[in-house]
Structure formats: C-alpha cells, structure tokens
Amino acid sequence: MVLNQISKKYGKQEVLTDISLKLKPNTIYGLLGRNGAGKSTLLNILTNRIPATSGKVLIDGQPNLNNDDALGKIYLMSEPNLYLTRAKVFQIFRETANFYTGFDFELAHQLTNKFGLNESLRFGKLSTGYRSILKDIIALCVDADIILLDEPTLGLDANHRELFYQELVETYADRPRTFVISTHLIEEIAGMVENVLLIKDGRLALDDTTESLLARSYSVTGPEEKVREYTAGLNVIGHDSLGKLRSDYVFGKLDENRVLPDTVSVEKIDLQKLFINLTEQSDEEGQK
Amino acid sequence: MQFNFDSSEPLYLQVAEQIENAIFLGSFATGEQIPSTTEISRDFQINPATVLKGMNILVADGLIQKKRGRGMFVLEDAQEKIRTKRKNEFFQDYILNMIVEAKNLGLDENAIISLVERGFEEG
C-alpha cells in the first residue's frame, strides 16, 4: 500500500499535510500521535470512508476510490458504530462475511468464547467495551492483507486488553499480514511494533523501525550544568528536572568526542518516553 | 520469565537472556523442547521476529538447536556452557564494579576481604 502526498482540509483548516509513505507487507505498525494529530482521519482516508482533498492511495497499484477489489484487501476497525442496533452478533459476522469472503467463523467462535461475548446478543445491548471487542474479533477474522485498528482497546479492561493483543500476535504468527495500530497506550504495544509512524500537527514526523529509533534515543542525567555542557548542540527533545538534577532527552547521535563526566550517566529510553518528548515540543511552540 | 519494556536493553537481547537463564536454572531441561516462538510471542505480546532474533543468538551460542518441524531443543552441554560464560563475566560484572564502589566509599583491600569473609559466613 502506497500513500502519495495525501492532504486533507476541512474548510480552511488543514488536518493532514502532504503524507507520503509505503506500508510494508507483514509488518506491525504503531501509528502514534497526540489527540487531534490526524491519525483517525488518515485511517479513514486509507479505507475511502472519507475522501482526501489531494493525493492518492494505491493498494497493490490500484487506487482505492470506489474499488471493491482494493478495499477488500484492507479492513478498518474504528470507533463509529456501523451496525444496526437490532443486529445480533452472529448476524454481524455473517454480514461481514458477505464482503470479506474469507471470514474465519471458527476463530470468531473461539474468540467470542474467550472474551465471554454472547453471540445472540443484539449490538445495541452491548457495552462500550464489548462493542470494541466485537469489532476487534471481526478485525482478526477477516481475510484482509492490511488491518487498521483505531483505538482497539477503547473501554476494555486490563485483562481483555492483554487477551486481545495475545490473540493478535498469535493470528499474526499464523498468518502474517500488516497491522496498523493506533493507540494511546503505547507501553502495551511497544513489544509488538516493528515500525513506528508518528503524526505531528498533520504531518508524518517519523517513519522508522522501533529498533532504529530506540538505538538513537538517550537520556543524559546528572548535575544541571554538566548535563547542559554535555548535550550542548545535540538534538535535545525535552528534559526533566528535580532540583539541580537534570535529565536531557536526546534524539539522534551523541558526540563521541565529548568526555562524559563521572557524575553524568547516559541511558537508553523507551518508546513511550521518546513519544512524549517528541510530541511535547509543539505544545511549547504553540504557547509562544 | 518477564520482560521489562523500560529496560535500556533491546528486547531481543532480553528474550535471549531470559531463555538462557531458564536453561541455566533447569526450568528448560537438557534435551527438552523450549516454548515455540509463537508461544513466547503470544504470552508476552512480543513481535515473533523479535523472539526469533533472540532465539537465533542462543542457536549461535550453541545452547539450543532447531529440529526440523519440531521446534527448538536444549543441547546437552548448554548448562555447562552458560556456567563457563558466567564465570568469565563474574570478574567483569561483579568484582570490578564492587571495587569501583568500594573506592568511592573509601574501603581498602583488607576491608573488602573481611567483608567477603563475612559474606561467606552469613550467606
């Protein structure tokens, strides 16, 4: 799947600006960004639920516009409820199978059992959590090559969140395909995500493997003056202070020629910390 | 087994270390099969490619072996190899670090030796 210079405007407000990227086959992506960064808009454009103002989305070389063949290869799980409140769970599975012909009913039954979802219940009777669970189950059972998950764990308790990600990894191991997971709970997906897409202010700020990102993300901690000296001129993306103790977060190469003082320590940081610091900047800029 | 996502160490190295430790402590016994990539991926929600990368380190170290179509098995001399490796690392990881800290605290060689003797008595 290829995105070519996608932009989206609502009136004069530009929500997405010039997004170009290529989704690799059989890869688990984390789509990260603050609230309102444009993640959901992007996912909706990919599946042709809303039109882009400009730019193209190609699936196996075919534009996704009104193209059932192309759209049958991609599935979006998202918050809006597309089902009739009167429809029963098993009817929704059947309805889905009409469009996604390879729907795995056996897996769907296993999953409704594991999650404790009664297939005879009507959609309107399900709680927020179970609505998410139903949509998650469908996402794991459709025979699509690209599965987009927009906040898949909305309303799920910790046990169900863990169970969902376990099932996701297992189906991925059985039948590798591309997942794009958009969530605020970064820690929960950090171990699964092979590639990170970061949207900031409607632009694609990062598109890189998790391993490569974490390999060049550091915290430098020690007495304030020494830390400032050591990180001067480096790409400092944020800091924390505790009295005179300071941590600078550096994204990018450290200067190997600089001598690290005894009182200063350099450590790696995790994905969540990196994300918070990379996306905090715009707030500060916005306040100026 | 547990994996610390906050750790500064890449996840695939943690996977390798955790399995190595389980072999060393006998949880995965000599000649026995270790959990599959999918099982470990599922249980800890780790990308299967990451788990495989960790396992390949253990294959390269001669601790586990792939049997075609059946999975990974613990090799005969795996425990002994880990013991030898850890003995070599003991000096680097424990002794040298201990001496750095002892110097910070102003403890001299004799003081360390008597503390080591006390450790053996109490431990």
Strand ranges inside B2-112, DSSP E? 64-67, 71-74
Residue A65 distance to chain B (closest CA, Å): 32
User: Which of B47, B53, B55, B104 to mutate to probe the A interface, most A CBs <10 Å?
Assistant: B47
User: Strand A28-32 and strand A195-200: pairing?
Assistant: parallel
Residue A271 distance to chain B (closest CA, Å): 8
Q: For residue B5, is pLDDT > 80?
A: no
- Distance, in Å, from the CA atom of A153 to the CA atom of A164, rounded to the nearest integer, reads 8
- pLDDT for res A85: 92
- pLDDT for res B40: 94
What lies within 8 Å, CB to CB, of B111 at 6+ separation is B102
Residues of B in contact with A188 (CB under 8 A): 45
Domain that holds residue A283: 216-287
What lies within 8 Å, CB to CB, of B112 at 6+ separation is B98, B99, B102
In a domain, B19, yes or no: yes
Segments in chain A below pLDDT 70: 281-288
- pLDDT for res A67: 82
- Both A204 and A182 in one domain: the answer is yes
Residues of B in contact with A211 (CB under 8 A): 10
Pick from B5, B8, B45: CB nearest A267: B8
pLDDT in tens, B53-72: 999 999 999 999 999 888 99
- Both B71 and B16 in one domain: the answer is yes
What lies within 8 Å, CB to CB, of A48 at 6+ separation is A57, A64, A65, A66, A67, A71
Pick from B6, B37, B42: CB nearest A270: B6
Domain termination residue (choose one: A192, A208, A224): A208
In DSSP terms, which residues pair with A223 in a beta bridge?
A245
- CA-based nearest residue to A28, from B95, B45, B56, B37: B45
The count of structural domains within chain A is 2
Asked if the Cβ–Cβ distance from B5 to A270 is below 8 Å, we say yes
- Distance, in Å, from the CA atom of A253 to the CA atom of A272, rounded to the nearest integer, reads 19
In DSSP terms, which residues pair with A115 in a beta bridge?
none
Domain termination residue (choose one: B58, B76, B94): B76
Pick from B5, B43, B49: CB nearest A190: B5
The count of structural domains within chain B is 2
Domain that holds residue B28: 11-76
In DSSP terms, which residues pair with A150 in a beta bridge?
A182
- pLDDT for res A167: 97
- pLDDT for res A46: 93
Asked if the Cβ–Cβ distance from A169 to B42 is below 8 Å, we say yes
Given a contact cutoff of 8 angstroms between Cβ atoms, the answer to whether B42 and A168 are in contact is no
Helix or strand (DSSP H, E) at A241: strand A236-242
In a domain, B88, yes or no: yes
Degrees, nearest 5: CA angle A25-A30-A33: 135
- Both A203 and A238 in one domain: the answer is no
Contacts across the A-B interface (CB distance below 8 Å): 52
Pick from B9, B37, B47: CB nearest A191: B47
Report chain A's terminal Cα–Cα distance, integer Å.
39
CA-based nearest residue in chain B for residue A266:
B8
CATH number of the domain bearing residue B15:
1.10.10.10
User: Is B108 at the interface with chain A, CB within 8 A?
Assistant: no
Q: Output the CA–CA distances (angstroms, integers) from residue A191 to A107, A216, A269, B47, B71, in the order listed.
A: 24, 17, 14, 6, 23
Given a contact cutoff of 8 angstroms between Cβ atoms, the answer to whether A132 and A152 are in contact is yes
User: Is A165 at the interface with chain B, CB within 8 A?
Assistant: yes
What is the DSSP annotation of A77-99?
Answer: E-SS--S-TT-BHHHHHHHHHHH
Asked if the Cβ–Cβ distance from B47 to A211 is below 8 Å, we say no
- Both A106 and A239 in one domain: the answer is no
Domain termination residue (choose one: A163, A188, A208): A208
